[in-house]
Amino acid sequence: MKTFVRKAVPGDASFSVSLILEAIGDIAYRLTGETNKQAAETALMKLFIRSDNRHSYRYTYIAEQSGTPAGILVLYFGTDAIELDLNLSSWLNEKKGIRITLDREAHLDEWYIDTVCVHPDFRGSGIGTALLTYAEYIAAEHGGSKLSLNVETKKEAAIRLYERNGFSITQPWTIIGESFHHMVKYL
């Protein structure tokens, strides 16, 4: 089956947020100021339809097979993360009175894959590879020379996928107290 990747629209919130939650797990609670999955999902839905944060539809791409959403990619440039995270921190402060500093997830000169996740019904069908290839295309189209992502050290299948697609572990990384591998692909 042919995979088609397109920019997300606000109407993709439900599909996208379910996969964002699956991909980031408990980090969602810190990023939304919530303490349970349903509240975090509601908050992420609100963030998704906004245009000014890392979870926005503006930075999300949807992979489809035969017109059915199959996976997501959230991608932005490293320097953009500064403003996106400042906006997210301000939103959290207004919403909950919570002042947090978000951990930096990428170097400033990298195109950063914040999230890549494939719906369970489509795993093993090349969607993940198609999304990674699309991320390369976007980065190269904007003159980027590096594409990066962070992966939990225990997610061995994901690490193998990234390595098969040309990513290498470059350094350890910590996000909200959790250990990750920072992986980079030079374009």
Rounded Cα distance between 165 and 37, Å, is 32
Residues 180/141/78/39 CA torsion (nearest 10 deg): -70
pLDDT (mean) for 98-102: 80
pLDDT band at 42 (very low <50, low <70, confident <90, very high): very high
Mean pLDDT, range 3-25, rounded to an integer: 97
How far, rounded to the nearest angstrom, does the alpha carbon of residue 120 sit from its chain's CA centroid?
17
What's the rounded Cα separation, in Å, for the pair 113 and 62?
Answer: 14
Encoded amino acid at 125, one letter: S
pLDDT of residue 1: 79
Structure tokens of 87? 């906006």
Q: Above pLDDT 90, what percent of the chain? A: 89
- Structure confidence at residue 95 (pLDDT): 86
**Structure-token pair, residue 159:** 């690490």
What's the domain range around 145? Answer: 3-186
Cα dist from 95 to 33, 43, 60, 89, 99, whole Å: 8, 10, 24, 10, 10
Predicted TM-score of the model (pTM): 0.95
Domain total of the chain:
1
Which CATH number does the domain housing residue 113 bear? 3.40.630.30
Structural element, H or E, at residue 119: none
Instruction: Determine how many CB atoms are found less than 10 A away from the CB of residue 27.
Output: 18
Q: Are residues 181 and 161 in contact, defined by beta-carbon separation less than 8 angstroms?
A: no
